[in-house]
Amino acid sequence: MKHFLFFLYYYPPVPGTAAKRNGRISKAITEKAQSTHIFTASQIPDDQSIQRNSKVTTIAAFDYRKILRRNTKDGALPENVKQHAAAQWMIRLINSFPFNIVAGEGGLIYFYNLLRKGSKAIREGHITHLYSSFRPFADHYAAFLLKKKHPEVFWIADFRDLIIDPHYNHILFAGNHHTFFSKIFRKADLLTTVSDGLAVHLRAYNQNVITLRNGIEGDIAKPQSVSVSRFTIAYTGSMFLDKRNVDPIFQALQELLQDTVIDGGDIGIIYAGKDGNFWKQVAEKYRLESLLDDKGIVSAVEAQQIQHDACINVLLTVSSDQLQGVLTGKMIEYFQSGSPVLGIVVGHNDPELQSILMELEIGDSFSDQPSDLELIKSFIQREYLHWKNTGMNRKPVNTDILKRKYAMDAVMTPLWNVLDKTQSAI
């Protein structure tokens, strides 16, 4: 009999891909477990449906996110603020131990309550499994301390991102932290993460790592093409310093317009997110500001509609020799929309991302280097000609593969296999 305790700072109805991943995985586990108890910083509405064998407890949190939410919709800093040297130093500080516990997401009160209430739940709820997810580090660190106190509990530590990311350099004294994190995560019984590329790095902490990709809940139906008045290229999400580069899209459009391959009156570039000012600056750089439609921060339902109606959904990420497989959570939403996906990767193309896109027949990815510009132009031109001839967007996604590999049952299979083996060994 499995009784799960979850530490999930991000949880629905909070928007964003982190809450969605945590919600999907906890729901899938709840369907198989005897009971689950979820601790989260999210405020759960009274009308939100909770599975009959599950309990959700909101843990009070006072952190920088709460302060930022007083002035922003999403509790995040705009990219133009992050770029300042003082802001970068503060970000590194707040990501470093012990400041990530004291002032990071959750804060000290949240962390203390995880320990106090978590220990009580383990004693009184006959907890057999403890699941925590990064970010924030507070969830993992509380789980680590409870694992030490209750070694019989099976601890699963999930990673949507790496704590020490070679691309962002967003932590102080990375070498010391690596030693510190190694001591912590070798105590875990299992590490889970979103990609094979991240899994490679996590094995430096613990050899028991499995890839648990983001998945799709419910029935997966073949998306239907829709009639659209403009050829729209859409991006819904955030920018991250210089680690996401949209310039190749604008440069490709500028050259296609100059060569009269496409008609400017047909084109719409749609952006939805917190970084509209950044997109406006890039559009002005290429004299394409008249084509940009900045929607600002929109609801999840509006974002899905933009993705569904798009002729191309843009996927931005970063890859290097040091780290590959940085797969944004938006990717699974793009797969659900079925529209063509154009990946632009800072540094060099990511083989894992490209393999996924091509296997699903939904699109392709390219580096942001000048050598790939002609390929990007060809991709856009092909989709433009389809729209010009039909007035419809295209839905090329291979639904059979989508069902086979990205339905939640399929995504969770590696975890069920591990849990079944450990249950048999008891």
Query: For 70-95, what is each residue's pLDDT tens digit?
Result: 666 555 656 566 667 777 888 889 99
Query: In this predicted model, what pLDDT tens digit does every residue of 213-244 receive, in sequence order?
Result: 999 998 999 999 999 999 999 999 999 878 89
For 72, 101, 241, the CA distances from 80, given in Å and listed in that order, are 14, 26, 8
| pLDDT score at 425 | 43
Position 262 confidence tier, pLDDT thresholds 50, 70, 90: very high
Place of tokens 């955030």: 238
Averaged pLDDT, 111-116 = 97
Mean pLDDT of 260-279: 96
Mean pLDDT of 363-377: 98
**174-185 and 137-149 helices cross at what angle (nearest 10)?**
40
Q: Is 51 exposed, middle or buried (0-12, 13-18, 19+ CB in 10 A)?
A: middle
Closest CA relative to residue 198, chosen from 189, 187, 211: 211
pTM for the full model? 0.92
What pLDDT, on a 0 to 100 scale, did the predictor assign at position 81?
Answer: 62
Of the candidates 48, 45, 76, 49, the one whose C-alpha atom is nearest the C-alpha of residue 63 is 76
Distance of alpha carbon 112 from alpha carbon 401, whole angstroms: 44
Number of H helices, E strands in the chain: 17, 13
The answer to whether residue 423 scores a pLDDT higher than 70 is: no
| Helix/strand/coil for 318 | strand
Give the dihedral sign, CA 140/142/145/150. negative
The three-class DSSP label of residue 195 is coil
Rounded Cα distance, 109 and 37, in Å: 19
Question: pLDDT of 50-70, one tens digit each?
Answer: 778 899 999 998 877 777 666
How much of the chain exceeds pLDDT 70, in percent?
95
> CB–CB of 147/187 below 8 Å?
yes
Residue 426: pLDDT over 50:
no
Provide the b/e sequence for 59-91 (b: ≥16 CB within 10 Å): bebebebeeeeeeeeebbbebeebeeeeeeebb
